[in-house]
């Protein structure tokens, strides 16, 4: 299919490689979404030509028309449904969830493969939960080749389904995002913003994704034509209480919160939530500069927003 993958390049000379940045053009799906919007901002700041796709993911003809018009070198998929205000929405809107998250993603992957294009697909790591072999507090995380074991929510079920099917597409780079966080603490999709507004929170260590650090890495992954499945979180785990303690220390010294148990949480949500640690050895080997979750939180989120003098 002419798809250059996993570090390969259509150019073989050093001179061609150094000239490559001017040759990129990205087609991004998810214009109205959080990650899609941030991707556009990153491309604009870095001088990378890009366009947002106008077609619906499940409409093959519209996707082909987008590619014909834009002539991209890479395609990014940050579209799909997560539900509003949260994934509980997917429990009662199952066909809509399938249409976007399964049919749409597979159609886009297939169109990209037919056109010889690498697809960077922002997926989810919320398809695992702590188990006997990956116990909380052990530091043993789920690896890229592990089979998803969390089926508590319909959203996660669809994501696990499509990840398995996408393994057959050699042109797809699947990025397992978890509990995304950014320096924009006003964004309601930001994990920190969410839990800071909750009446009560559970306190469980989890792998999380600092978008300010990792979205630029995803652009670099496209440039390197990396494919396959990647745990796309910062190394290590951080708990809800640890994040809120940092929020108190850096942002609001008067901030306080209450905890409740998973059993108590279950009474106020429709679908269970995934809690896990992902092993980031593969990503860290490719990008050695990648910070641990707590260091990344301080550098990219809390210090830029710092309002106190005692942190």
Average pLDDT by consecutive 10-residue portion of the chain (311 residues)? Answer: 57 41 87 94 97 96 98 94 72 87 95 98 95 94 96 86 96 97 94 91 94 98 98 97 96 92 66 86 98 98 88 50
Give the per-residue pLDDT at 59. Answer: 95
Which among 303, 309, 81, 119 has a CA at the least distance from the CA of 228? Answer: 119
With CA atoms as reference, report the closest residue to 270 among 152, 188, 100.
Answer: 152
Could you tell me the residue ranges of all domains in the chain? 26-187+208-237+275-301
CATH number of 26-187+208-237+275-301: 3.40.50.720
Q: How many CB atoms lie within 10 A of CB 201?
A: 20
Closest to 75 measured CA to CA, from 108, 33, 35, 42: 108
pLDDT for residue 274: 81
pLDDT for 303 equals: 97
The sign of the torsion formed by the CA atoms of 158, 159, 165, 169 equals positive
pLDDT of residue 13: 36
DSSP H stretches of helix in 80-145: 88-92, 94-98, 105-114
- Predicted pLDDT of residue 2: 56
Q: Is 114 helix (H, G, I), strand (E, B) or coil?
A: helix
């Amino acid at each position: 299919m002419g798809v250059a993958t996993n570090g390969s390049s259509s150019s073989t000379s050093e001179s061609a490689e150094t000239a490559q940045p001017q040759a990129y053009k990205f087609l991004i799906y998810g214009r109205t979404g959080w990650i899609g919007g941030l991707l556009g901002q990153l491309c604009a700041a870095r001088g990378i030509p890009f366009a947002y796709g106008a077609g619906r993911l499940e409409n093959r003809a519209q996707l082909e028309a987008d590619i014909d018009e834009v002539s991209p070198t890479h395609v990014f998929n940050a579209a799909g449904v997560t539900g509003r205000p949260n994934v509980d929405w997917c429990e009662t809107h199952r066909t809509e969830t399938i249409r976007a998250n399964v049919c749409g993603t597979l159609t886009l992957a297939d169109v990209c493969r037919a056109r010889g294009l690498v697809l960077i697909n922002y997926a989810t790591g919320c398809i695992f939960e702590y188990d006997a072999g990956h116990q909380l507090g052990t530091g043993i995380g789920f690896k890229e080749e592990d089979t998803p074991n969390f089926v508590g929510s319909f959203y996660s079920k669809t994501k696990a389904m499509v990840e398995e099917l996408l393994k057959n597409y050699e042109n797809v780079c699947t990025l397992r995002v978890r509990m995304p966080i950014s320096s924009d603490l006003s964004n309601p999709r930001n994990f920190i913003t969410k839990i800071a507004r909750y009446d009560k929170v559970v306190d469980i260590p989890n792998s999380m994704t600092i978008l300010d650090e990792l979205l630029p890495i995803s652009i670099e992954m496209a440039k390197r034509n990396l494919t396959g499945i990647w745990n796309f979180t910062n190394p290590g785990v951080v708990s809800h209480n640890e994040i809120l303690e940092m929020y108190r220390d850096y942002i609001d010294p008067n901030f306080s919160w209450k905890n409740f148990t998973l059993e108590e949480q279950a009474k106020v949500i429709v679908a269970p939530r995934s809690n896990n640690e992902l092993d980031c050895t593969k990503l860290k080997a490719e990008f050695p500069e990648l910070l641990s979750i707590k260091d990344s939180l301080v550098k990219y989120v809390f210090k830029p927003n710092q309002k106190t003098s005692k942190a």
